[in-house]
Amino acid sequence: MDSVEKILQREVSPFAYQSFIKGFFSFAMGGICLILFFDYCALTESGRALVRNAKQELKDCLSEIDFRSLRKPVLLLSGVYLLGILSIIRANFSYMNDLKRSVDGLGGWHGWSRYVAEFTAIFVHGDTNLTDISPLTQLLAVFILAVSSVLLIYIIGNKKITTVRLLASIPLGLFPFFLECLVLKYDAYYMALSVLVCIVPFLFVNRKKAFIFCSVVCLLIMCMTYQAVSGVYMLIVVILCFQDWNTGKKTYKEILSFLLTAGFSFCFALLLYRVFLMKPADTYASTAMYPVAHIISGALNNIKDYAMAINHNLGVIWKIGIVLVLVFFIAKSMYQSVYKKPVSFFVSILIIGISFVLSFGAYVLLEVPLYAPRGLIGFGIFLAVLCIYVVSDYKKAAIVTVLALNWCFFVFASSYGNALADQKRYAEFRAGILLHDLNTLYPNMSREGLSIQFKNSIDYAPTIKNIARHYPVIEELVPKLIGDNSFFDWYYLMEHYNFNRVETDNRAVDDASNENSNDSALDSTVVLDSYYHTIQSDGKRVLILLKH
């Protein structure tokens, strides 16, 4: 540590030093293992045979796919997804990290071990210095999602693609939770890519070596793009196993063999990522897992919170539609089953429960998982899988129910985009008034050495309050921009409006419990009291009390 501090010419905390040593050791061991595996494949006969067999299996699987038949479905679904997010693109809303990246030009994804996102951003943006190129990234995300939906139908629907099945897959890309990903100008394409790579391995499901190789590679890519979809791979595995069991197409031995192969590939890929590639993180979410003694109780608690978050955010009409989809799933399973109806009934319910848990992915085991909408996107994919299954060769009532539910999601996407535009307009109006008052009161604020603090937020625009009466998720999807999140507040109010010469104090005052300890300006003189805000100052700090 002494040597490191001399080189850096500053003190290094023991935690930072230990993290660096751990990271360096992990990367070094990962590199050594990669070199040994490469040497095995290149220098030994068995290794070369393994590579030849896997390569041939990949070629055989790809040759069996009629890619021309996938073109029209991809174009059709791209049009549907594009029409769905048209209002989001028109809103041109800078969402959370978009503000920061637009100002400093840095990705910062490597801090969350998303190396593929960091690397591909250089090619997508055409430079190491990132700039706002929207809606190009969102259009790219739309195309990737369309490909993902078509491949999902191709895999689950026994290679049969119809218009009804295409429309049934809409929750994969337009479910309210995934809309938060699509509004992100810098992140949309790689979040969509994480979904696609979880589906691709199943194109090689009939060739064991090709399937294992593709699964491990794709799952590693998923981990290095967006980890919230980490359970999608096993979710598809469970549904495919259930289909084969329920229809009697495969024996128990074949189903178990596929399940073990997929399970091994999944665990092996995540273990590689966890040991050699993942960086520890502990901010609004944590990468720390529950200790073994508490892993079951912790997982059950996370599942409960996951279900409560979904229940809280969804509207009543959506809940009714989802329940009907689940009922049709059970009914179809019983109708098509080669087993006795009570057996099929209980197994189908069990599959729904397992699939629901898997839709939360590895977050189930984390001490502090992410419950923001972008962390719950697995539920939308879970629903898309059920919808595709339900409309495949079944009753018209099921098809009408699924299409009606998906129409609701499609309409909400347009409402969401317009809500973003309204909030942006309202926030810019409030910011303009506030900055005008600050400039009038303190024309030389930077020279006077004053810092700024906030209390409260500007609240939502009336449009969003109206939507929230029936669709509470809108309040999770639309940031208030001022007073909602201290870190992004400063980027919006200071950097976005070129007010960055003023010293800012990120210790925003949130409630009465920390007012006395956090800011002495609360008892200072009121220098301005308007309809929208009150400004107080003690000569050193300026406290802005935002009014709703």
Instruction: List the one residue out of 219, 239, 237, 238 whose CA is nearest residue 229.
Output: 219
Task: Mark which of 338, 361, 394 sits at the end of a domain.
Answer: 394
- Is 444 found in the same domain as 349? no
Higher pLDDT: 13 or 287? It is 287
Q: Which pTM value belongs to this model? A: 0.88
Is 345 within a domain? yes
> Is it the case that residue 16 has pLDDT exceeding 80?
no
Q: Which of 35-49, 77-91, 106-120 is the most confident on average? A: 77-91
- Is 425 found in the same domain as 389? no
Lowest mean pLDDT among 50-59, 203-212, 335-344: 50-59
Could you tell me what percent of the chain has a pLDDT over 90?
Answer: 55
How confident is the model over 533-543, as a mean pLDDT? Answer: 86
Is 293 within a domain? yes
Is 48 within a domain? no
- Is 448 found in the same domain as 365? no
- Is 477 found in the same domain as 388? no
Confidence of residue 308 (pLDDT cuts 50, 70, 90): very high
Domain span at residue 447 reads: 416-546
Confidence of residue 404 (pLDDT cuts 50, 70, 90): very high
Fill in the DSSP letter of residue 472.
T
- Is 420 found in the same domain as 368? no
Tell me the pLDDT tens digit for each residue of 89-130.
999 998 878 888 888 888 888 777 888 888 899 999 988 888
* β-strand pairing of 533-537 with 525-529: antiparallel
Instruction: List the one residue out of 457, 451, 420 whose CA is nearest residue 438.
Output: 451
Residue type, 264: F
> Is it the case that residue 513 has pLDDT exceeding 80?
no
CA 474 to chain centre: 16
Instruction: List the one residue out of 386, 355, 388 whose CA is nearest residue 238.
Output: 355
Cis before 135? omega within 30: yes
Is 208 within a domain? yes
Confidence of residue 191 (pLDDT cuts 50, 70, 90): very high
Higher pLDDT: 86 or 22? It is 86
Count of domains observed in the chain: 2
Which residue pairs from 32-41 have beta carbons closer than 8 angstroms and sit at least 24 positions apart in sequence? 33/276
Structure tokens at 544: 């802005």
Is 49 within a domain? no
Is 258 within a domain? yes
- Is 188 found in the same domain as 255? yes
Residue-level pLDDT at 193: 96
- Is 424 found in the same domain as 297? no
Distance, in Å, from the CA atom of 52 to the CA atom of 265, rounded to the nearest integer, reads: 20
| DSSP per-residue letters across 141-162 | HHHHHHHHHHHHHHHHTTT---
- Is 353 found in the same domain as 274? yes
Residue-level pLDDT at 514: 44
| Residues across the chain | 548
Instruction: List the one residue out of 166, 182, 179, 262 whose CA is nearest residue 214.
Output: 262
Structure tokens at 30: 């990962």
* β-strand pairing of 533-537 with 541-546: antiparallel
- Is 379 found in the same domain as 483? no
Is 62 within a domain? no
> Is it the case that residue 266 has pLDDT exceeding 50?
yes
CA angle 60-63-67, nearest 5°? 145
User: Rg (Cα) of the chain, in Å, rounded?
Assistant: 26
- Is 318 found in the same domain as 201? yes
- Is 388 found in the same domain as 309? yes
Is 423 within a domain? yes
Structure tokens at 301: 């608690």
- Is 288 found in the same domain as 214? yes
Tell me the pLDDT tens digit for each residue of 194-217.
999 999 999 999 888 889 999 999
